[in-house]
Amino acid sequence: MPCTVIVGAFWGDEGKGKIISYLALKDNIDFCVRTGSVNAAHTVWYEGKKYALHMVPAAFINPKTRLLIAAGANVDVKTFFAEVEQTQVQGRIAIDQSASIIEEKHAAADKASAVNKGIGTTGRGVGPALEERVRRTAKLAKDIPELKNYLTDEVQEVNDGLDIGKKVLLEGTQGFMLSLFLGGGYPYVTGRDTGASAIASEAGVGPTRVDDVLIVYKSFITRVGAGPLPGEITKEEAQKRGWFEVAAGTGRDRRSASFDFDLAKKTAKINGATQGAMTKLDCIFPSCRSVKKYSDLPKEAKEFIKEVEDKTGVPITLIGTGPEAMDIVDRR
């Protein structure tokens, strides 16, 4: 702190929404900036209610947190307004005037494209919208009349906040292994860079202003869509182990694999991780469920965490032990 980047270690689904929501409450975050687009949902469980959010930052559960959508983000207007209504964040959420817009034509083109059918994108129009932005023909948030009351200069707000010591979370979406440039298995990647440096860049925050890079791991690995997944197990085996999941945003089955220590080390190094979070520890060690103290974790769970730390060189400071935002062992 005061500026922390949240980045996913693998192919998404690592539980970034849970970690962000916990930090928003525990650390009383002043600003949370969402990057990326609607092709990734962050799941937040709070007081027994589930939220799967594609636009609104996961820090919304702290009523004092200013919520911003980054200058480099792509905005689906209908989704934005639906989630603002769902989360009741009117008056404290804003979109950078230079964020680009996803239109219905983009979703139609996405669903019809051979690329989508081969790679297995979400079909929400993100790829075609990014193409227009690169061609410099995309509509921006400032061009949409209904967004008028939600516009801001996000870059100015955040940097002014950092000048006076405000606490800022930069919310990355998807996982690092889906990075267009640095991920694994091109062309089975997304349409942008998803690394820590790109997250900061989309938010207009210079690298010297970032204090911590918090990389989020899950105790096993999942991905949706096509593309390689080293060590992949069958759906039946995933169900047997309690690892089978359905994507929060699309309802698609997630493919599963065991935790990959070598990959965890590689992604930590490339992202410059200073801390790590481990989610869903209770899925491989059920006796961890809802534990809040490290001393109460079973021996085998502690050994797993230590092995991750030893092999990645990154301290695991936050450990998720259940779905609720506050089901966390905080070792900071």
Asked if 50 and 249 count as a contact pair (C-beta separation under 8 A), the reply is no
Asked if 185 and 179 count as a contact pair (C-beta separation under 8 A), the reply is no
Per-position DSSP letters for 125-158, written without gaps between them: SHHHHHHHHHHT---BGGG-GGGGGGEE-HHHHH
User: Choosing from 30, 42, 106, 260, which is the catalytic residue?
Assistant: 42
Q: Is 54 a catalytic residue?
A: no
Rounded distance between C-alpha atoms, residue 101 and residue 139, angstroms: 6
CA atoms within 13 A on the CB side of 225: 25
Sign of the Cα torsion 158, 325, 199, 100 reads: negative
Only one residue has tokens 């227009």, namely: 132
Asked if 101 and 75 count as a contact pair (C-beta separation under 8 A), the reply is yes
Of the candidates 133, 83, 126, the one whose C-alpha atom is nearest the C-alpha of residue 108 is: 126
Only one residue has tokens 């730390």, namely: 309
Q: Is 76 a catalytic residue?
A: no
Helices (H), the chain: 16-26, 77-87, 104-112, 114-119, 126-135, 154-163, 196-203, 235-241, 261-271, 281-284, 299-312
Tell me the catalytic residues.
13, 42
